[in-house]
Amino acid sequence: MLIKYFLFAVLAISTLLSFANATDQSPLLLAKPKIVGGELAAQGDWPWMSALVFTYSDANSALDVAGTQYQSEPFSYSPSGQASATMVDCGLGDDLCHLAENKICLIARGEIDFSVKAVNCQAAGGIGAIIYNNISGVISGTLGEGFIGNIPVIAISQNDGAILLDKLDSIATINLSVKQDLTQSASCGASFIGEKWVLTAAHCVEDANIEFLKVNIGEYDLSNGASNAKAIKRIYIHPEYDEGSTFNNDIALIELVESSDQTAVKLLDYNTSKQLAIANSPATVIGWGNVNAYGPNDEPPVNSQPNQLRQVELYLLSNEECKDQLAQAYSDLNNTTYSSNQVGITNSMICAAFSGGVQKGSCQGDSGGPLLVNTNEGWQQIGIVSFGVGCANEAFPDVYARVGSFTAWINNITQGIAIESSYDFALTPQNKAQTTPLTVTNNTNLIANLSFTLLADNTSSNGFSLNTDNCTQLSAKQSCQIQVDFDAKTLGKHKVRIVINSNDINIPTSQSYLSAEAIAASNNINTQLSNGSSELRWFSGGDQPWLLDNTEPAIMSGAIGEDQQSAVILTFSGAGTLSFDWSVSSEKNIDNPDESFGILYLIIDDEPIKFISGEVAYAKVIIDDLAVGEHQVTWLYKKDGGTNEGTDKASLKNVIFTPTVTALPSPLPSPSTSTKDSKSSGGSAAFILLIFSLLTLRYRRI
């Protein structure tokens, strides 16, 4: 079996006994003889093995329009059915569709939830819905488990949608059949550690939506058992997880809505993990990841994830051995010299490899799953599948998060006072104040009297403040909320920790990490794009601010490197229409356009709206019907890959905000004054093209 690698997060998803032997003072646990690796696991051998899954009703769909077949995909949780009628253009489907009675609704993908689009179609009398994409490819979407409609809903591509808009008078026939049993799709592995707690990799859940992601404990065959998947209550990502290129502290805890009586895995302590690694002890990794090996410069092969759980035998490396092997491998690969200190292996990681020429290891799909050692106290988890180079390449050992490095963090959350692990206020215009609540939970059986302290990374003013009045005393198994405020008076990046103090030394506590970046007002950009308007306020920052393009009245992103970003923000008040021209010249991911390497994002009032990537000439965007109130529009150029293509920049010009003109109410007429109807100009439906999960400007890590 080959199991795991990398950065595929998804998505994209206790324990006094579990941790009784997971302390640094544990006696040496002797590794038992190695088992045969690279084989199908026996059902029941790994009762704690868990899968992070999305569950859905498996369905088949077909679309025929005037005798021509079009590729379609069913939406998860769409009802079965057949519908045949002419079509009606329903735009974004954000309201009841005019003239939809006894017709099939043709709807554009956009900001509105798919389920709302379908319900609006049905409420207007529509008998079926076709939703077309606004980027290349066919939508793979869901209507949600609580979908209340009963008409069939299918998805088609952007190109086919454009074709059908010219064939509204043709007869379209939808056929959709749905199996009664739920189906599941695994995104990552995980391990059950007791009661309501599951352990996985941070990169598996950093963008997870817990409304859809579930956990299937004790899973073996993914082709059945989807109905056993359990709902998630909270996800705690390690606050010092490095989501960049190092993947340090790649660990997360999942709290389930309900406890489970399934067998839990024991966690191995740090000192014993070091001793076993020095001895090159055998270890076993299990998962549902790809089974085909490939090298560091090879294209990943076609997905080959099995339904049944597999296991593979490896041997542990000391960190020194791992660093030396990786340094040599990187040196050979890049024809240059790397030192052991340049390969990114930390004490929070542990490595495993194979020998004998038979390719074995972890691969895509195995992330988050356990690396196990068989000791005189039974199987214990020593690592979490984290990252690697290629799959099962002998030169590059696989890297795992070392569970023993996180014993205190796990214990503080599962058996103490837990707090949402982090919150990022992200890019904030200078002098703007923001606030957010954070949840604090008492996972002990004791009443806790609590106090909270802010510890800044430096002594300068950081703009953070707390209101903790609701959480000074917290009953057992109860939650409360504190309020965190950030006032962006001081420019630059700010980080601070919330430290929880308990009056009882028997009650462990956790910490939360807060971050924010205040970016400066830009009078130059205001002059360049808005003629110095006092109503339109411009700000620019990030790793590099945006610059003036003096070849025309435009601006362009700053020169940034890998994993950096350059942002420009416009703030204004009032209802109306915003229009602008934007362009980008960047490296595009040919294999997956949704995950390009240089991307220009549009975010309005904290909601991702649209992005462009590759070689895109200036194109106009119009945002209609902005409501009354304060608005913040962000153009964010973000670079994920390490390769430069084109000019590697984004550009913006012709930014115009046109307020909605609303006539003031007429005064009451006098007997000698005639009256006229008072009218106001109405905005059209919101022009919003895309919601995506690749970007989170502000986010919390629970």
Instruction: Work out the number of other CB atoms within 10 angstroms of the CB of residue 664.
Output: 7
Tell me how far the alpha carbon of residue 39 is from its chain's centroid. Answer: 32
Domain boundary among 169, 202, 220: 169
What distance lies between CA 580 and its chain's CA centroid? 28
Residue showing tokens 């679309």: 63
Give the CATH number, domain containing residue 41: 2.40.10.10
Active-site pick, 26, 115, 367, 512? 367
- Note whether 482 and 531 are same-domain residues: no
| HSE-CB of 548 using CA atoms within 13 angstroms | 13
Residues 551 and 558: their CA atoms lie apart, in Å, by: 16
Q: Note whether residue 231 is domain-resident.
A: no
pLDDT of residue 684: 24
In this structure, are 338 and 476 located in the same domain?
A: no
Given the residues 94, 160, 250, 640, the one annotated as active site: 250
Q: Which of 26, 203, 281, 515 is catalytic?
A: 203
Q: Among the three residues 384, 402, 420, which one is the final residue of a domain in this structure?
A: 402
Closest CA to 664 of 652, 654, 678, 643: 678
Query: Is residue 33 included in any domain, yes or no?
Result: yes
Flag whether 608 is in a domain: yes
Structure tokens given for 155: 């998805």
Q: What are 404-452's pLDDT values in tens digits?
A: 999 999 999 999 999 999 999 989 999 999 999 999 999 999 999 999 9
User: Residue 449 is part of a domain; what is its CATH number?
Assistant: 2.60.40.10
485 is a catalytic site residue: no
> Same domain for 162 and 126?
yes
CA distances from 30 to 2, 283, 371, 383, 666 (A): 26, 12, 16, 17, 89
CATH number of the domain that residue 81 is part of? 3.50.30.30
Token output for 344:
């990114």
Phi, psi at 412, each rounded to 5°: -65, -35
244 within domain boundaries: no
In 3D space, the residue among 562, 544, 541, 542 whose CA is nearest the CA of residue 639 turns out to be 562
Q: Is 98 noted as a catalytic residue in this protein?
A: no
Question: Given the DSSP bridges, would you call strands 630-639 and 564-573 parallel, antiparallel or unpaired?
Answer: antiparallel
Strands 128-132 and 104-108: parallel
- Structural domain contains residue 693: yes
| Pair of tokens at residue 500 | 């929880």
Mark whether 272 and 396 lie in a shared domain.
Answer: yes
**Which of 518, 548, 576 delimits the end of a domain?**
518
Within-domain flag for 412? no
Domain match, 665 and 538 both:
yes
- Do 569 and 687 belong together in one domain? yes
| Secondary structure element (H or E) that encloses residue 329, with its range | helix 319-334
Could you give phi then psi for residue 523, rounded to 5 degrees? Answer: -70, -30
My answer on whether 494 and 565 are in the same domain is no
pLDDT of residue 691: 31
- At 688, which CATH number? 2.60.120.260
Task: State how many domains the chain has.
Answer: 4
Q: Which amino acid makes up residue 159?
A: N
Does any domain span residue 223?
A: no
Determine the Cα–Cα distance for residues 702 and 441; give it in Å rounded to an integer.
Answer: 11
- Quick one: which H or E segment has residue 568? strand 564-573
Please tell me whether residues 28 and 92 are part of one structural domain: no
| Residue 437 sits in the same domain as residue 547 | no
Do both 532 and 478 map to the same domain? no
Closest to 607 in 3D by CA, of 589, 590, 627: 627
| CA triple 599-602-607, angle to 5 deg | 120
Structure token digits, residue 510: 């956790």
Structure-token pair, residue 661? 């003109």
* Helix H or strand E segment including 496: strand 492-502
Return the ∠ at Cα 253 (arms to 286 and 15), rounded to 5°: 90
Return d(Cα 268, Cα 18) in angstroms, integer.
10
- How distant, in Å, are the alpha carbons of 53, 103, 104, 145 from that of 175? 27, 15, 12, 21
365: phi then psi, degrees, rounded to nearest 5: 100, -15
| Residue 71 domain flag | yes
Which of the residues in the chain have pLDDT under 70? 1-38, 244-245, 303, 357, 457-461, 588-596, 641-646, 662-702
Nearest to 12 by CA among 198, 209, 302: 209
Whether residue 470 is found in the same domain as residue 596: no
Report how far residue 530's alpha carbon sits from residue 532's, in angstroms, rounded to the nearest whole number.
5
Q: Is 367 a catalytic residue?
A: yes
What would the two tokens of residue 49 be?
């093995």
Contact 126, 151 (CB under 8 A): yes
Distance, in Å, from the CA atom of 666 to the CA atom of 254, rounded to the nearest integer, reads 59
For 276, the 3-state DSSP assignment is helix
Contact present, 596 and 631 (Cβ < 8 Å): no
CA distance 18 to 195: 9
Residues 498 and 551 occupy one common structural domain = no
Domain that holds residue 344: 2-12+14-45+266-402
Dihedrals phi, psi of 163, to nearest 5 degrees: -65, -45
